[in-house]
Structure 1
Amino acid sequence: MPDREPRRVIVGRVVGLFGVNGWVKVYSYTQPKAGLFEYPDWHLATADGWQAARLEAGQEQGKRLIARIAGVEDRDQARQWVGSDIAVARELLPEPEPGEYYWVDLESLTVRTVDGVELGVVSHLFETGANDVMVVRGERERLIPFTLDHVVQRVDQQEGVIEVDWDPEF
């Protein structure tokens, strides 16, 4: 049986170059933003898939974050990583509090209504500012707000189901 691809959580992005000694500017999706540096074993997105990388150093530089990737010694070597997502293995992250979820843990779960109508599978989620939204793909694509106790009635990761109070006609 082939090994499954490990689940990764995107925690940031390389957004630019900093100086001439191989440092890069990074944008962090973690809270607090410097929490990105708590995970030294990075995976960086490439055209050919994910490549393992090691965070050698990271620091706040004014309002931005900068990082040094092991083995990257100059600006030209660092340039290849600009635009790359930064991910870490899911198992390195702390378990969420009850009622909180990592998006990666919700992806691929089946979504069905409280009346048992299957709507599809969570493809991905995105933020709107007001709330997170699930993109559910089934016989058609639906955008369903991920609002606990309002639309989302139950999340059962063991069963692989998210139960929603949602009109299947929407």
Structure 2
Amino acid sequence: MKDTERRILLGRIVGAFGVRGEIKLESWTEPRTAIFHYQPWILRTPAGQESTLTGARGRQSGKHLVAVFPDITDRDVVEAMYGTEVYVARSALPPPKPDEYYWVDLEGLQVRTVEGVELGRASHLFSTGSNDVLVVQGDRERMIPFVQPEFVVSVDFEANLIVVDWDPEF
């Protein structure tokens, strides 16, 4: 899918905040409040209905954000939105800095060792706190620390390839 068509999941509505229609929002951007910079949003309900929203604003509140959506002032409306996911078009995100990557751009790339052994495809990444981990699905699942250049030697989007310095038996 072209970048202009791809959607990136950035967050989810997890409840109502107060009685005036404010929304408790979980954000996976870094920092969390950056989600408000990437608009318009594509809201997808758990039932699969989609709508577009612009003008969302918000603030940090504990482990969640408190958001205000235009024209929503009723707690009952917000409660009905529980579980709605917040997407943006991939093209709404700024280009990553050199040697930085959006995880979603790495998903699906072929993973090969420096010796040329095919390990599979990048399934997803997750953070351990000390470093990120690349999960590779192939003949079996492998978890490779996403540490450059120690384990991840190169990422080549043109070749659809991540080269790793990793023992295929591990």
TM over 0.5: yes
Separation (CA, whole Å) in 2 of partners of 1:104 and 1:50 = 23
How far is 1:88 from its partner?
1.2
2:166 matched residue in structure 1: 166
Calculate percent identity across the aligned residue pairs.
Answer: 49
Question: Which amino acid in structure 2 is aligned with residue 36 of structure 1?
Answer: I
Deviations 1:28-72 (A, max 9, x none): 222333221112311234334472331433222654522233454
What SS is found at the alignment partner of 2:55?
strand
User: Judging changes above 3 Å, is the alpha-carbon distance between structure 1 residues 167 and 104 closer, same or farther for their aligned structure 2 residues?
Assistant: same
Q: Decide whether the 8 Å contact of 1:58 with 1:65 is kept in 2.
A: no
1:68-104 per-residue CA deviation (whole Å, 9 max, x = no partner) reads 3345442222123323332211111100011000001
Q: Normalized against structure 2, the TM-score is what?
A: 0.86
Distance 1:118 1:48, change over 3 A: farther
Which stretch of structure 1 is more off in the superposition, 62-71 or 6-15?
62-71
Deviations 1:109-164 (A, max 9, x none): 00000011100001111111111111111111111111110100000011100000
In the alignment, which residue of structure 2 is the partner of 1:133?
A: 133
Correspondence 1:34 to 2:57: no
- Cα pair 2:3 2:89 within 8 Å, conserved: no
Q: How many residues are matched?
A: 169
Say if 1:164 and 1:4 are closer, same or farther in 2 by CA, change over 3 A.
closer
With over 3 angstroms needed to count, the CA separation of the structure-2 counterparts of 1:108 and 1:54, relative to structure 1, is same
Q: Which runs of 5+ in 1 are unaligned?
A: none
Change in 2 beyond 3 A, CA 1:140/1:71: farther
Shift in Å, 1:4? 9.7
3-state SS, counterpart of residue 122 of structure 2: strand
Residue 93 of structure 2 corresponds to 93
Hey, what's the Cα distance between the residues in 2 that align with 1:88 and 1:102? 14
1:43–1:86 contact (8 Å) kept in structure 2:
yes
Say which SS state the counterpart of residue 129 (structure 2) adopts: coil
Gaps spanning 5+ residues in structure 2: where? none
